[in-house]
Structure 1
Amino acid sequence: TDLASIGSSISAAGNTAAGPTTALLAAGADDVSAAVAALFGSYGQTYQTVSAQMASLHQQFVQGLVTGSFSYASAEAAAAAPLQAAAQSVLDVINAPTQAFLGRPLIGNGANGAAGSGADGGAGGLLYGNGGAGGSGSLAGQKGGNGGAAGLIGNGGAGGAGTLGTVGSGGIGGNGGAGGFLLGHGGAGGAGGFLSNGGAGGAGGFLMGAGGAGGPGGFGFGGTGGNGGAGGSGGAMFGAGGVGGTGGDGGGGAGIGGAGGTGGTGGLLLGAGGSGGDGGRGDALGGVGGAGGTGGAGFFGNGGGGGSGGASVATGGTGGAGGAAGLLIGDGGSGGYGGSASAVASQGGAGAAGGKSGMLFGSGGAGGAGGAGQGAGGSGGVGGE
């Protein structure tokens, strides 16, 4: 492109100079002036001839480069295919023994479950590889498939979504797969179908990794919404707990919102607890917020915040309790807010208590505020110690 634009600029400049340089007027009527004008005019004509030849040569040069670039790209693609095939062949040989005896590869990602099958995701490679995602459920309200677990290093697969279901309840969401033994995050839980719970998040890797988020609960079509899935726990040593899933909204009239999922526990040595999921909205009663996860199950980490109670027409949901901090150091999680209520003489949901602080350093979590109600507001939660 740059070479072509340079050629166009040179041609334009030559065309602009053609008139003034090839048709010079004589300075006077004498023979000397006429001879000088003719001489310089011939120089201009010669320049135009040479310029046209150079433009043609430039065009041929640009065309040659374009053709060469296409040939290079084609040759590179042709050379890459055998190399990729050879690499895959070597990998197949490496994976063959473990695939035959243990049903999983040594290196490589697990296969995803097919959509609509509810099949579990395949396990990741023993040494390295992510778990496959679970397949979504079928139209008959089938459960979503669980995510595949990772091996030594890798992330767990996400759980498949439960289907809505043509009659009755939908399927629950699949659980997320666990992260790798040494390093890796847990997979997220799948969403629940109608009236069904979301899947739990997968646990983080043993050494390090965050827990997966819980799946949201399904909508309560004329009934109670599904509960959100619990967040996965953080790695046994290091890692934050997963966030709890949101509760599903309840159906109209007498519908009740689903409860939010509990936040995952932080890693044993270090890691914050996951926040609890918010409760779902319900016309009759809002869902309860999920409790926050405990921070650093052993020593260090902040507690997770409690989820808010679900809003409602009649009675707001209660907030979820804040998670306690790690044993030694950390702040407690704040309590969840109570859900609001909108009908005349309705009752707002109560706020939840804040989590306890660490023994050596840290502050207790703030209590959650009560929800507003047209009749009476909800009581506020107590702060953590």
Structure 2
Amino acid sequence: MGSDNAQVGGVGGTGGTGGVGGAGGASGLLGGDGGNGGDGGKGGTGGTSGAGAAGANGADGTRTDSADTARGESGGNGANGVTGGAGGNGGNGGAAGSARSPGGHNGTMGAGGDGGNGGHGGNGGDGGDGGNGIHLVAGLTGDGGNGGDGGHAGAGGAGGHGGTGSSTGKTGDTGTITGTGGNGGNGGNGGDGGDRDGDVLTGFRGDGGRGGNGGNGAIGGAGGNGGTGGNAGHIDSGAGFDGGAGGYGGNGGNGGHGTIADGAAGNGGNGGNGGKGDYGEDGTGTAGGNGGSGGNGGDAGHSSLGDGAAGTGGNGGKGGDGGDGQVDGFTGGNGGNGGSGGLGGHSGAGDGAAGLGGAGGNGGNGGDGNWGNPGGYGGNGGSGGPGSTGGVGGVGGNGGNGGGAAFTGAAGAGGPGGAGGNGGTSIGQGIAGGAGGAGGNGGIGGPGYALGGDGGFGGHGGNGGNGGDAALGNGGTGGSGGNGGSGGTGSIGSGGTGGTGGTGGTGGKGSNGISTKLGGAGGLGQAGSPSTVGSGGGSGGSGGSGGPGGVPSP
């Protein structure tokens, strides 16, 4: 135990070892589960200015072989670190025991032990990885163990990462779960989803595990990134089963708010990418699996009342690609959708920079069809996050490309682009409104034998934010296809100029001048898209000239 004399705090106790799983019966019955590891002891309190000691690591689980099968022990939990000290890492889960039986029947495989949880402390310990299931030709395999959760951090410390979910054995029929990132000064990253194989006996699809969510940031800390979704494992049979789906990407954690003074706010964590879908198995012909959706970006923290900068929203994760259809003719899997960008944080009352919206994730590509069957659709691009308090809106994600097709099959259409985020309206004196984010590009249509797939629609641009009510408060510029924002009202100077419209958009209105000053000019109307007329210019403020109209495009 620490004292006020800056001595080091006591070390946390080690987690207890899990009990050994019971042996299976002679006739091939399921063996008993191993006991869970004991929790680590709480660390002693550190001295006033002393550095806390690290908690001990949890013990690894052991592999057990018995007459039949036994579950691998769970790894012990990492001990809790003392105040200021790092938490110990959780032990890894033990591998499953092999299945043997003198009674002539193969028992069901034991599952891999779970990873222990990381200890708490100055920095949270990482969760242990789950143990792998083991392949046995004549029987089913056990599950891969779950990843342990990352430990929570003390003030200002980083949260531990979630452990990775382990793969199942070759013919395992269930998937694995990942641990989540611990909360802390910087949120821990979520663990990745485990890959998962299907079951050759039943045709059960092996979907990838979902990525863990990133932890939230504490004061001023960044949110953790979401874990990547696991890929679908292939069913190696010949019976013609559908391909498994990719796992979803985890969501990014939210950024922490700034301090009361001028501390900057934390950024939102990025969403994890979706896993890839598996291709269909040869034989009777099967569809490819769909790609997993990308996780959403975390929201940024707000800055304080002072001049600290606001955080940027996290980016959305990319959607996973769809799997291809196989020989005897089935459709390609669809691409996963991109995740949405996170919100930009609000800036403070001072001169701190406004938060930017996060970019939307790109959609996954569609898988190819085969033998006259259609290709998969491209995934949708994620929407850009809106800017805040004059911040720029995030860019929309691009749509995924469509899958191709052979012979008479229809090619897949490209996915639509995501919408750009709106620019934030300024609340500061004389600060321009934020520009709207550009819309994402539509995906390319897949190649076809007779007819190619349609291209995806482009995303709409975000609208520009309004300028602040001050002498030079200009309206934000509209994104592609968006409308320009209005200029701010002048106080002792001229009115702000209206924002320029995006392609095909209307120019913003110029604001009114005060006293003898001129009103702001109307924004320029941009050219229309092909076969459309140009948009009108924005109207001028009092005493200001109107903006010119856009010309028609050829």
Task: Calculate the TM-score normalised by the size of structure 2.
Answer: 0.43
Partner of 1:210: 356
Partner of 2:464: 295
Q: Is 1:265 aligned to 2:422, yes or no?
A: yes
Give CA-to-partner distance per residue, 1:41-89, whole Å, 9 cap, x none.
Answer: xxxxxxxxxxxxxxxxxxxxxxxxxxxxxxxxxxxxxxxxx97969x95
Distance 1:176-1:93 versus aligned 2 partners, 3 A rule: closer
SS of residue in 2 equivalent to 1:189: coil
Aligned counterpart in structure 2 of residue 135 of structure 1, from 215, 223, 227: 227
Q: Is 1:255 aligned to 2:412, yes or no?
A: yes
Give CA-to-partner distance per residue, 1:272-298, whole Å, 9 cap, x none.
Answer: 111111111113321111111111157
Whether contact under 8 Å (2:379, 2:415) holds in the other structure is yes
Partner of 1:113: 190
Give CA-to-partner distance per residue, 1:168-190, whole Å, 9 cap, x none.
Answer: 21111111001112220001111
The separation in 2 between residues aligned to 1:232 and 1:365, in whole angstroms, is 25
The higher radius of gyration belongs to 1
Q: Is 1:331 aligned to 2:488, yes or no?
A: no
Q: Is 1:148 aligned to 2:308, yes or no?
A: no
Distance 1:190-1:297 versus aligned 2 partners, 3 A rule: farther
Runs of 5+ in structure 1 lacking a partner? 1-81, 307-320, 336-352, 371-378
By percentage of residues, which structure has more helix? 1
SS of residue in 1 equivalent to 2:399: coil
Whether contact under 8 Å (1:159, 1:187) holds in the other structure is yes
Aligned counterpart in structure 2 of residue 242 of structure 1, from 377, 384, 394: 394
Aligned counterpart in structure 1 of residue 437 of structure 2, from 264, 271, 274: 274
Whether contact under 8 Å (1:294, 1:326) holds in the other structure is no
Q: Is 1:192 aligned to 2:319, yes or no?
A: yes
The separation in 1 between residues aligned to 2:122 and 2:392, in whole angstroms, is 38
Whether contact under 8 Å (1:225, 1:255) holds in the other structure is yes
Distance 1:275-1:169 versus aligned 2 partners, 3 A rule: same
Whether contact under 8 Å (2:464, 2:479) holds in the other structure is no
Whether contact under 8 Å (1:156, 1:177) holds in the other structure is yes
Whether contact under 8 Å (1:247, 1:261) holds in the other structure is yes
Partner of 2:384: 231
Displacement of 1:304? 3.6
Displacement of 1:254? 2.8
Displacement of 1:96? 4.3
AA of the residue aligned to 2:391: G
Displacement of 1:135? 0.7
Whether contact under 8 Å (1:292, 1:333) holds in the other structure is no
Identity of aligned residues (%): 50
Give CA-to-partner distance per residue, 1:272-330, whole Å, 9 cap, x none.
Answer: 11111111111332111111111115755434432xxxxxxxxxxxxxx3343246444
Give CA-to-partner distance per residue, 1:243-268, whole Å, 9 cap, x none.
Answer: 11111111224321111111111112
SS of residue in 1 equivalent to 2:84: helix
AA of the residue aligned to 1:258: G
Q: CA RMSD in A?
A: 3.1
The separation in 2 between residues aligned to 1:230 and 1:165, in whole angstroms, is 23
Partner of 2:455: 286
Partner of 1:312: none
Counterparts in 2 of 1:1-385, with a 5 A limit?
Answer: 89-90=83-84, 92=121, 96=154, 108-116=185-193, 117-125=210-218, 127-139=219-231, 140-152=245-257, 153-166=265-278, 167-182=288-303, 183-193=310-320, 194=322, 195-207=335-347, 208-221=354-367, 222-235=375-388, 237-252=389-404, 253-269=410-426, 270-282=433-445, 283-296=452-465, 300-306=474-480, 321-326=481-486, 328=488, 329-335=497-503, 353-360=504-511, 361=520, 362-370=522-530, 379-380=531-532, 382-385=534-537
Distance 1:381-1:109 versus aligned 2 partners, 3 A rule: farther
Displacement of 1:98? 11
